[in-house]
Structure 1
Amino acid sequence: MNTLSNLSAQNNYGKVTGKIITKDGQPATGISVSILNTRFGASSQTDGTYVLKVTPGKYRVQYKALGMTTKELGIEVLKDQTTRVADIVLELNSFQLKDVVVTGQYAPQSLKNSVYMVRTITNDQIRLRNATKIQEVLSDQLGFRFTNDLTLGTSDVSLMGITGQRVKILLDGVPLLDRGETRESLNQIDINSIDHIEIVEGPMSVSYGSDALAGVINLITKKSPGGEQLDVHARLQEETAGKQYDAFRGSGTHFENVGLNWSHKGWELGGNFSRNNFDGAVAGWMPKDQWLGNAIAGYRTNKFHIWYRLDGENETLKNDGEPNVNNGIETDAHYISYRWMHQLQTEWLINKNLSFSGAASYTNYNRRTLTTTYNTITGETRLTVGAGEQDKALFDTKFVRGTAQYRISDIFSLQPGFEINLTGSSGARIAGTPTINDYAFFVSSEIHPLAGVSIRPGVRFIKNSIYDAPPAIPSINTKFTLSNALDLRLAYARGFRSPALRELYFNFFDANHSIRGNTNLKAEFSNSYNGSLTWQSLGAGSVKFKSSLSGFYNDFTNLITTGYDPANPSVMTYINIDKAKTKGGSIDNTIYYKNLQARVGFAYIGTYSKLQTDTLNQAAFVWYPEVSSTLLYHFKKLKGDISLFYKFNGTLPTYEVITTTTGATVINLAKRSAFSTADITFNKIITKSITIAAGAKNLFNVTNVNNTSLNVGSAHSTGGPVPLGYGRSYFLGLDFHFSKH
């Protein structure tokens, strides 16, 4: 079972070494290796090897691939000697090993065994993308669309035709706070701290609450695998802004990052610090200086893990004016944001059938408008006194969540839980100091009545401080294993979303926006159905293939959107659309062959909106296509990679609510022109610790696309050309990584 060789050491410990491989002969990376009933543990490295320092004695060693397979064997460790363990072969292949998910699961689970249809963006894909913000990583994914508000410097995300606060953004399962309907938080988290991203399409309201009608985007952060380890990393990347560039300052994107992670005797300390500086030098795009930092401290044993994480962000957007030719005075507006997010999380394996996980977080976010005049002749700077020119908006949220996972038998498991979310705001643009408190209890179970059949029913009970929530929000997810390679998933979920603080109380008036909150809004409800058929080759050959065919249908009542205020057509407000629907389907295919990974997917998505005043029933589904593809190739001898990312975004139909000259409120169909984007990147290993990267982004030089919206030149205008990018850009980066185990 194991081979012993005696090698001299210089301490009172013994060493345990070995290698873990998959059944197709590949090194198994990231496998948990632990000495049972002790604090000793480690994780296998990229070549499958591991090293443990252990006090002398007889032990059992456990080898565990999260959610998939476990092996144990007995060893004896002698003082000042090394125990070499024969190669451990895990009963899974390297293709399976990469697909471990946690979103919505009772415990870390293989993607194949998950009852949910989860899409993952792996650590390799993020690394090879050489992105400076998370939006870049998601932009080429099927079903994702982004819009930019150049006046506010924010972006919003749409998933399968559903936008805004119906898409839940999570950081390790904890919701991120946004001040409005846009998901600006997505780009206010340091991408260097993200290990991988998990995307679940379709409502997850039972597990994650009211904002998860369209699905969730869960950003999973990097964590120490345990054992004795020191990691130091640094990254420097320079990128042009279209044709504009000034090295390390001025025009372009200038990205710097440094981080450290240390683990010892179960303790973990780590952190990242990044600066992301952008100077567009392109009409409409405001310069942005962003500082991002995070720190983590934790402790783990074989059965218990607790950690605290702090994420901070300071962002300044600069909208500097031109000097007045008559008096030399220019007016400058700076938008300054601060975000502090505290998290405390714990996982406790009480026994083999019962575990508990909990999370508590507090987020404080504020955004200030600082407007000044600068006299270019005298050098004097003064604060302005105009309406809204010195505004400050503050938002905070307190979040607590706890779940228990109880395995009653091989057939039946139960997961009860509770969640509390308290959100408040204040500021010059907020009417009063409102709060919205949301309390929920939820329970789900996983039932395996037959081999190859998984059924997960669930229900969430909600108490909202402002709106009468329905007595129960149900869902049911099912998975049928039709063969070793073929899986069918079918799901239904009821959704509920109460209006957010901004939609109710936020009033925003400046030169580019005239929008008023609406306290008469109704809560949203939805019924959603989705299904998928996944085929995955699991053989030991050199070619592996995965294909997924999926479809969805969402029916919304009282969907919240923006429209003209009937009492004042020059002002936008939030209104309810009586009926809104989305439906569509996609097919996604990935092939792995030796050093090649290729993916191509197609989606076809339809949207529908209707007001009660549409007595002629003129509303209809309108459709748009998407094509997405990724090509990754690793050159073994050259120790390098080439990556190509492509996305075709078809003509996007959008509904807008407008007021006609007769005062009637109608829904107008507008269209946004089709466009394509593509990026190409090269990564080359120079030494064991240093990698260089180079490439080009936005190869088709997309800047603006045409839009037929009637809302042009009005308050909160959405008409005219839509800004998507600042042109083709080029980058060069350097990455340093030192690791000691």
Structure 2
Amino acid sequence: MKRLKYILIICLSTALAAHAQEVKIISNDEPVSHATIQVTDLNQTATAYYISDETGTVSIAQTPPYIATISHLNFKTKTDTIHHSSKQQWQLFSKENTLNEIVVTGQYQAQSVKQSVYQVNVLDEARIQAQGAQSLTEVLASELNIRFSRDNATGSSSVSLQGLSGQNVKVLLDGVPLVGRSGVSNEIDLNQININTIERIEIIEGPMAVNYGADALAGVINVITKTNRHQKWNLNMGIQEETVGKEFSVFDQGIHNGYLSGSYRLNSHWSAQADTRIHRFGGWGGTGRDRLWYPKNQFFQSGQIHYDSERFSIYYRLDYLNETIENQGAPEQISPQSDPYAFDKEYLTDRWIHQVQSELSLGKGAMHTVISYTDYNRQTHRFKYFLLDGVPNITTTDGQDTIAFQTTFFRNTLDDVVQWHLGNTTWHTQLGIDGTFESAQGTTLSSGDKHMTDLGLFASTEISMGDKLKIRPGIRLTYNSIFNANPSASINLKYNFSPHSQLRLSYGRGFRAPSLRELYHEFIDANHNIVGNDELEPEYSNNINGDLTHQFKDTKWSFKVSSFYNDVHNRISYFTPEGTNQTTTYTNILEYKTLGTAGQVTYQSKKLTLKAGLSYIGRYHNLSEDASAQNIPQFLYSPEWITQLGYDLFDTGIRLSAFYKWVGANKQYLSIEDDNGNSNPEIRQLNDYHLLDLSLSKTWKDVLTVGMGAKNVMDLTTINNNISTGGAHSSNSDGRSSVAYGRSFFMKISYQFIKN
């Protein structure tokens, strides 16, 4: 009888195991490990507890129906009644505390901001939508320590982070480096990213050269796109109409933006998604056909297909961009008997990005693999336009400048696969290899096709000493096919004074080889005369960053103070010889430094979100080393102030959002020749300015959203600038620089249909 009892128990246990319900706990499509699941029957007479594993998976022996409560330190507690025994995914959402947002940039595995050794600034979709932004530039321009300058002749914007220009900022799309440094500057045009596909933006300020290689001396901007893999159907469509200053018409003037996206889950493993966006900017300013801001048309198309299983996932993504910028020329002087005409230009861009990413779970850790191929083409199309007929005619052969880049990138990492434990000390590791193979050809290269190969082997380990201290040293060995490269090294430290206070310190040494554009590209038109320099040397940098964050206990207030110091040796910059009509080229500046500090206060509740911050950035001045200019300070400082507000009005569901930024004057000493031929230092500056955006939005049942607002409420257009004296980036002829197109108004409507 006793033996029969044991047999029945074994059979029952086997049956329960066979019918165990598998559940995966996720947040933003990332697994949540160490979540506690409390399972209680409907009569609340029996309770069992489970813990999710490293893949977020847990097997529940109880048979539905039952009540499940999922809790985790970094996420909101969720309670639900489960009626079905099928395989399920349970979604958790981050707590209101912004320190617990989940990030992936620079991490071994997805984790909260609070746990990361890096200070990561996260801008989520709600933040982007609240501003009514039409481009990534608009979003980032409202953030601290980030500035933009605009080239009206090409329609592109140049970014700076921590006082370093965009050539030192790595821009990633889902972790893949963007290719196509266009226009005048050797940097990515952030206006060429489809803002309607962005789920969130992760910004890390400071040296990231060990993790991401060249161009990451000042930091990383990682644009993470939306994926809808867990609904049966998802359809999202919308339009946004906006004035450009006082200009607007239905088809031409103003900004017209329409988008459509959809996804479909074929089964438990396969899903597909597609996104389309059409953006038209009608231009602004100037007189007649001569527009100060050129008209621009953009067409974005992307598609992706995903495969997911318990231990392996892979997806293929395609992104296409077609952009046309119209430079309308002034009418030519002709006889009254001839048909009037003008010479127009179109700047045409085509970009194809193919990428494949996969993740394989290896028990303790995972292997991540990325392969991408980018084909980027930019052409200047010059033609004769007959004004009476309104049609282009003869294409001129002297204006058909072209340049094309083909880039293959791969990255493979073993993340947290090797771990050691000794007492309360744990070692987590990352081993990786990446490579970039770039070729360029076109009429604007100095001679023939150009090629460059960059390979990197990198490793780091994160040492956790209990709950207080984390130390992450790392090193990268780099091979460049044109230049000799020294190793890049870094060390990051994070110390928890308490569960609410964290100190982070970091040091990094970076390396950046001159790009093919800086070495060989020629950009010559009516507004520019820039020639590459094949004798450039690589840049090296030493970067130090530190920050302290504190979350006030039992309140919704937090603050952060930070500081940084960047020392770049052989920095590549523009050089224009004295005199008129001189060619601008690139040169190595022996030394360039930036030094700064910032403070930020945040309040976040269900109804109110408030962020205010102040920064003070100094830029090194070469003339301060000149014996004849000892009174010139080594650093010239410029302040910034931001305020961002979100408030739910009177329980109506209407959200009021405000984004304000004050950019202080940017000063610089120039060596000016007096009437006697003597050179004397003279201070020049780009004046300060204010930007303010206001908006209202309302969502009904998570389906229909309507928004409206005003941008650039203070009606700013240009500011005084007496720094530029010619060269690559000149001010206007009246000594003013164009900043914005004046006060504008927008309205947007979006509709979303979801079927689970």
Report the TM-score when normalising by structure 1.
0.86
| Residue 431 of structure 2: aligned partner | 416
Distance (whole Å) between structure 1 residues aligned to residue 139 and residue 362 of structure 2: 38
Q: Pick from 435, 446, 458: which aligns with 1:442?
A: 458
Structure 2 match to 1:114:
116
Q: Post-superposition, which runs of at least 4 consecutive aligned residues in structure 1 deviate over 6 A?
A: 14-20, 31-36, 59-62, 566-569, 655-668
Residues of 1 paired with 2:583 and 2:331: CA distance?
31
Q: Deviations over 1:197-248 (max 9, x none)?
A: 0000011000001100000100011123x4453211001000000011112x
Within 1, Cα distance between the matches of 2:708 and 2:508?
Answer: 44
Paired residue for 1:645?
659
**Higher mean Cα deviation, 227-236 or 132-141?**
227-236
Stretches of structure 1 that go unaligned for 5 or more consecutive residues are 1-13, 21-27, 37-42, 49-58
What does 1:474-485 align with in structure 2 at a 5 Å threshold?
A: 474-485=489-500
Question: How far 1:401 moved relative to its partner?
Answer: 0.6
**DSSP-derived class of the 1:503 partner:** helix
Equivalent residue number for residue 196 of structure 2: 192
Deviations 1:68-126 (A, max 9, x none): xx68462445xxxx634333333345224861110100000100000011111112101
Opposite residue 522 of structure 2, the aligned amino acid is N
- How many pairs are equivalent? 685
CA contact (8 A) 1:438 1:464 kept: yes
Please tell me whether the aligned partners of residues 455 and 477 of structure 1 are also in contact (alpha carbons under 8 angstroms).
yes
Q: How does 1:680-691 map to 2 (within 5 A)?
A: 680-686=694-700, 688-691=702-705
Counterpart CA distance in 2 for 1:302 and 1:524 is: 44
Q: Does 2:743 align with 1:728?
A: yes
Looking at structure 1, the residues matched to 529 and 403 of structure 2 have their Cα atoms a distance apart, in angstroms, of 17
CA shift in 2, pair 1:76/1:332, >3 Å: same
Distance in 2 between residues matched to 1:216 and 1:95, nearest whole Å:
25
Q: Does structure 1 residue 561 correspond to structure 2 residue 577?
A: no
Alpha-carbon displacement from aligned partner over 1:379-411 (angstroms, at most 9, x marks no partner): 664334363x11111112110111102241241
Q: Give the letter for the 1:698 counterpart.
A: N
Structure 2 unaligned residues grouped into runs of 5+:
1-18, 38-47, 77-94, 287-291
How far, CA to CA, are the matches of 1:272 and 1:552 in structure 2? 39
- Which secondary structure state, in structure 2, belongs to the residue aligned with residue 321 of structure 1? coil
Candidates 582, 588, 609, aligned match of 2:600: 588
CA distance in 2, matches of 1:255, 1:706: 32
Report the CA distance shift for 1:662/1:420 in structure 2 as closer, same or farther (over 3 A): farther
Distance 1:499 1:726 in 2: 34
* SS of alignment partner, residue 582 of structure 2: strand
Which residue of structure 1 lines up, in the alignment, with residue 178 of structure 2? 176
- Aligned pair partner of 1:139 in 123, 138, 141: 141
TM-score normalised over the length of structure 2? 0.85
Q: Specify the alignment match of 1:287 in structure 2.
A: 295
Greater Cα shift, 636-645 or 425-434: 636-645
With over 3 angstroms needed to count, the CA separation of the structure-2 counterparts of 1:63 and 1:95, relative to structure 1, is farther
Q: Please say if residues 201 and 216 of structure 1, whose CA atoms lie closer than 8 Å, have aligned partners that are also in contact.
A: yes
- Secondary structure at the residue paired with 2:134? coil
Q: What does residue 9 of structure 1 align with?
A: none
Q: Which residue of 1 aligns with 2:402?
A: 392
Distance 1:258 1:658, change over 3 A: farther
1:355 aligns with 2:361: no
**Residues 7-58 of structure 1, C-alpha deviation per residue, up to 9 Å, x if partnerless?**
xxxxxxx9989999xxxxxxx975878999xxxxxx9xxxx9xxxxxxxxxx
Residues 163, 502 of structure 1: alpha-carbon distance in 2 compared, 3 angstrom cutoff: same
Which residue in the other structure is 2:89 paired with?
none
Q: CA separation in 2, counterparts of 1:666 and 1:659?
A: 6
Q: 2: distance between equivalents of 1:415 and 1:697?
A: 44
Question: Do structure 1's residue 527 and structure 2's residue 513 form an aligned pair?
Answer: no
Question: How does 1:50-69 map onto structure 2 within 5 Å?
Answer: none
Alignment of 1:323-338 (within 5 A): 323-324=331-332, 326=334, 327=338, 328-338=340-350
Give the Å deviation of 1:636. 7.4
User: Taking structure 1 as reference, are residues 265 and 669 closer, same or farther at Cα in structure 2, changes over 3 Å only?
Assistant: farther
The question of 1:550 aligning with 2:568 is answered no
Displacement after TM superposition at 1:718 (Å): 4.4
Match of 1:278 in 2: 281
Correspondent of 2:551 among 536, 539, 548: 536
Deviation per residue, 1:136-194 (Å, 9 max, x gap): 11111001111110101111101111112101100111100133435444211111111
Over 3 Å counting, the alpha-carbon distance change for 1:60 and 1:488 in structure 2 is closer
Q: Is the 8 A contact 1:18 1:85 kept in 2?
A: no
Give, in whole Å, the separation in 2 of the partners of 1:488 and 1:380.
Answer: 63
Q: Secondary structure at the match of 2:139?
A: helix
Residue 11 of structure 1 is matched in structure 2 by none
Equivalent residue letter for 1:108: A
Partner of 2:16 in structure 1?
none
**Cα distance change of structure 1 residues 32 and 512 upon mapping to structure 2, 3 Å threshold:** closer
Tell me if structure 1 keeps the 8 A contact 2:357–2:369.
yes
- Aligned mates of 1:319, 1:211 — CA distance in 2: 31
Residue 689 of structure 1, CA deviation: 1.7
Show the counterpart of 2:102. Answer: 100
Q: Please say if residues 629 and 681 of structure 2, whose CA atoms lie closer than 8 Å, have aligned partners that are also in contact.
A: no
Say whether the 8 Å CA contact 2:24–2:58 is kept in structure 1.
no
Give the 3 Å change call, closer, same or farther, for CA 346–710 of structure 1 in structure 2: closer
One-letter identity of the residue aligned with 1:717: S
> C-alpha displacement at 1:637, in angstroms?
3.6
Larger Rg: 2
1:699, 1:398 → 2: CA distance? 44
Distance 1:516 1:90 in 2: 57
Distance 2:302 2:676 in 1: 54
| Cα 1:354–1:87 shift into 2, 3 Å | closer
